[in-house]
Amino acid sequence: MNRAFASSHVVGILPSISKLLLILSLSTVVVPAQVIVAPTTPQVGSSNPVTAEPLVSRPHTKPCVVQLLTNSAFESFTPAPLNYTPPAACPGPWAKVVLTADFTVSAGIQYDRSAWFYLNNVNIFYGTTAEPGSKLSPSWHVERDLTDLSALFKSPQTGAASIGNIVNSSYTGIIYANAALEFYPASWQAQAPVVPDIVDSLSSGNSPATLNTGADQVTQTVTLPRNVEKVYLDVISQSQIGDEFWYFCVPNDVAGELESCGNSAFRETEISIDGKPAGVAPVYPWIFTGGLDPYLWIPITGVQTLNFKPYRVDLTPFAGVLGDGSEHTVAISVFNANGYFLSTANLLVYTDHGSKEVTGGLLSNTLSAEPTPQVSENLATDSTGTTTGTVAVGSDRSFTISGYVNTSHGRVETTVEQKINFLSTQTFDVNPNVGPDNQSTVQTSTVDSETTTRTGFLVEKVAKHISFPLTLNYALTYNANGTYTQVVSSNQQDVHTEAKTLNNFPIYESNSQEQVSSKDTLQYDANFNLTAAGVGKSSASYLSHDSLGECYSRSLTAANQILTSVTDGKGCHQGWF
């Protein structure tokens, strides 16, 4: 139920929320701090935020490092300026470009906060921060592979780093950050990959755009060169305020009796070109470190909580349209947005280096303008005012988009076929006055796609499966002695598989799966004051492997806010493919 949600993004839902938001802190003493660089390997016995995710792989060449931030303090909503100059000693091309960032929050009272870094309106990092405690000053490290943004880094750029924060007599945690770009020169051992020639953005200056309703859009008008060959859009849509817990939302007609947010538990990012449907991006159900129960996320955070991963939409069937020399408007919106989402996207354009002009066009497009989710309500309210039952919402859509370009190496025809399936089933046992207050949700969001590229007699197919399963259970029990017991459990997953074939001959396969499971119990007195720290446990695992023999495996366990084990390599063995 909404009364349990604790996060910086939801304020003042009920009077008891302000207490739950601050349960990690029993003191307002500010401990001065700057960035304390945490080890990149999780440390047993530590309460620093950790994930099982791998770091960005690097070439063996020595990088040139360009510092963007050094001990920058974030204690207001004023962004820190970013000034970038290309590294003279590493002029490019680069085998890899990596962003590294380190964060520390001083001990005290503070919400989780959204963090984003931009250069020339292009997003280079997006995530959220950890919450501190009266004796806990958390530090953590994040990395992002920015090689596809290499075109951006060829010239000097200005931008901004934003971690909107409030520091006063009540909220005392100051957030500090370092950030740098690592440029790895190409060599015969580490060759430079083919990267986009043009990088543009859909943003609100050097920040994401606010989308309060499904009708709101963030747009960018572009006039691209006449030799466009491939186009992609990397999308991030972050839920905020009333939409933060969208996966617990219900249809508007029952939102009041279920004490929940409206517009149902279905959200989806829609992409359009010149007002016509062009693609779809699922919304990942991120849970921030103040969400549901802050103790759930110490030290193991939710999937992607500190470092969001963009979802890539293939717009290549529109290459012939976008490269016709005219102005075109690319836009994104969030279906069912209900106050509000923050959305941003990077447009990545590849050009034909063998020709100054290509011709082409769109062959077919069966994508509808909007999804048509189906809602099922099975609820009953008894004489005590207790509502029990289920609410489900599902959306299934399939589409095919096909286009072509006549390039210097022949006609290239690209067809994108996708099936997108979403299902959320929520179970309720709710009484707003005397209890119980139980809510659970089982949600699946799946995308199955196949992209076929035909160049002469060569036919390349790339099949992808992406899945975001989520199970949440929240139970608040009103005890006979007037006290309260809250139990929250969460299971998040992020699953990706990919298979490539050339003329039906397999050439590459990969698989990755991340999972975070957490459970915590809190005890409150009759006035809803926390009487003890959370008692719980959590675990995280990440396993990735491919047909080239690369494998990564890490498992973490934690209990009562302390990391208890780190196991590396156990999931890797021979014979995956």
How many C-beta atoms lie closer than 10 Å to residue 212's C-beta?
16
Question: What is the C-alpha to C-alpha distance for residues 573 and 459, in angstroms, rounded to an integer?
Answer: 32
For residue 332, give both structure tokens: 């994104």
Strands (E), 242-301: 268-273, 276-282
How many C-beta atoms lie closer than 10 Å to residue 39's C-beta?
11
Q: Yes or no: say if 496 and 485 are a contact pair by the CB < 8 Å rule.
A: no
Closest Cα partner for 557 from 569, 567, 568?
Answer: 567
- Mean pLDDT over 14-20 rounds to 33
**Residue 1: predicted pLDDT:** 35
**Residue 434: predicted pLDDT:** 66
Above 80 in pLDDT, residue 12?
no
**Residue 229: predicted pLDDT:** 98
pLDDT, one tens digit per residue, over 547-571 is: 999 999 999 999 999 999 999 999 9
Question: What is the C-alpha to C-alpha distance for residues 498 and 302, in angstroms, rounded to an integer?
Answer: 24
CB-based contacts of 446, cutoff 8 Å, min separation 6: 419, 420, 421, 422, 465, 466, 467, 468
pLDDT, one tens digit per residue, over 176-185 is: 999 999 999 9
**Residue 432: predicted pLDDT:** 76
The CA distances from residue 462 to 415, 449, 498, 501, 505, in Å, are 11, 8, 7, 7, 12
Question: What is the C-alpha to C-alpha distance for residues 324 and 337, in angstroms, rounded to an integer?
Answer: 33
**Residue 170: predicted pLDDT:** 95
Q: Yes or no: say if 321 and 358 are a contact pair by the CB < 8 Å rule.
A: no
Question: What is the C-alpha to C-alpha distance for residues 540 and 542, in angstroms, rounded to an integer?
Answer: 7
For residue 14, give both structure tokens: 């009920």
pLDDT, one tens digit per residue, over 436-477 is: 689 999 999 999 999 999 999 999 999 999 999 999 999 999
**Residue 433: predicted pLDDT:** 74
- DSSP assignment of 185-249 equals E--SSSPPPP--SEEEEESSSSSPEEEEETT--EEEEE---TTEEEEEEEEEEEE-GGGTTGGG-
**Residue 259: predicted pLDDT:** 86
Overall size of the chain counted in residues: 577
Question: What is the C-alpha to C-alpha distance for residues 336 and 214, in angstroms, rounded to an integer?
Answer: 5
Above 70 in pLDDT, residue 29?
no
- Mean pLDDT over 358-379 rounds to 97
- Mean pLDDT over 183-196 rounds to 95
Above 90 in pLDDT, residue 68?
yes
**Residue 573: predicted pLDDT:** 73
How many C-beta atoms lie closer than 10 Å to residue 506's C-beta?
11
CB-based contacts of 280, cutoff 8 Å, min separation 6: 268, 269, 270, 271, 313, 367, 397, 399, 418, 420, 447
Token pair 């500190």 is at which residue? 306
Above 70 in pLDDT, residue 577?
no
Above 80 in pLDDT, residue 388?
yes
**Residue 436: predicted pLDDT:** 66
In this prediction, residue 289 has a pLDDT band, given cuts at 50, 70 and 90, of very high
Phi-psi region of 99 (alpha: psi -120 to 50; beta: other; left: phi over 0): beta
- Mean pLDDT over 240-245 rounds to 96
Above 70 in pLDDT, residue 574?
no
Run of H or E residues at 464:
strand 458-467
Q: Yes or no: say if 201 and 121 are a contact pair by the CB < 8 Å rule.
A: yes
In this prediction, residue 25 has a pLDDT band, given cuts at 50, 70 and 90, of very low
Average pLDDT of every residue of the chain:
93
**Residue 32: predicted pLDDT:** 53
Above 50 in pLDDT, residue 19?
no
Q: Yes or no: say if 523 and 530 are a contact pair by the CB < 8 Å rule.
A: yes
Above 70 in pLDDT, residue 515?
yes
The percent of residues in the chain predicted with pLDDT above 90, rounded, is 89
In this prediction, residue 435 has a pLDDT band, given cuts at 50, 70 and 90, of low
pLDDT, one tens digit per residue, over 300-344 is: 999 999 999 999 999 999 999 999 999 999 999 999 999 999 999
Above 70 in pLDDT, residue 369?
yes
Question: What is the C-alpha to C-alpha distance for residues 78 and 55, in angstroms, rounded to an integer?
Answer: 30
Residue at 174: amino acid letter: I
The torsion angles phi and psi of 269, rounded to 5 degrees, stand at: -90, 130
**Residue 22: predicted pLDDT:** 41
DSSP state of 450: E
Residue at 449: amino acid letter: S
Tally of CA atoms within 13 A in the half-sphere of 37 that contains its CB: 8
How many C-beta atoms lie closer than 10 Å to residue 543's C-beta?
18
Question: What is the C-alpha to C-alpha distance for residues 65 and 58, in angstroms, rounded to an integer?
Answer: 13
Closest Cα partner for 128 from 79, 165, 76?
Answer: 165
**Residue 31: predicted pLDDT:** 44
The percent of residues in the chain predicted with pLDDT above 70, rounded, is 93
In this prediction, residue 5 has a pLDDT band, given cuts at 50, 70 and 90, of very low
Question: What is the C-alpha to C-alpha distance for residues 210 and 343, in angstroms, rounded to an integer?
Answer: 7
Tally of CA atoms within 13 A in the half-sphere of 335 that contains its CB: 22
Phi-psi region of 130 (alpha: psi -120 to 50; beta: other; left: phi over 0): beta
pTM of the model: 0.94
- Mean pLDDT over 257-284 rounds to 96
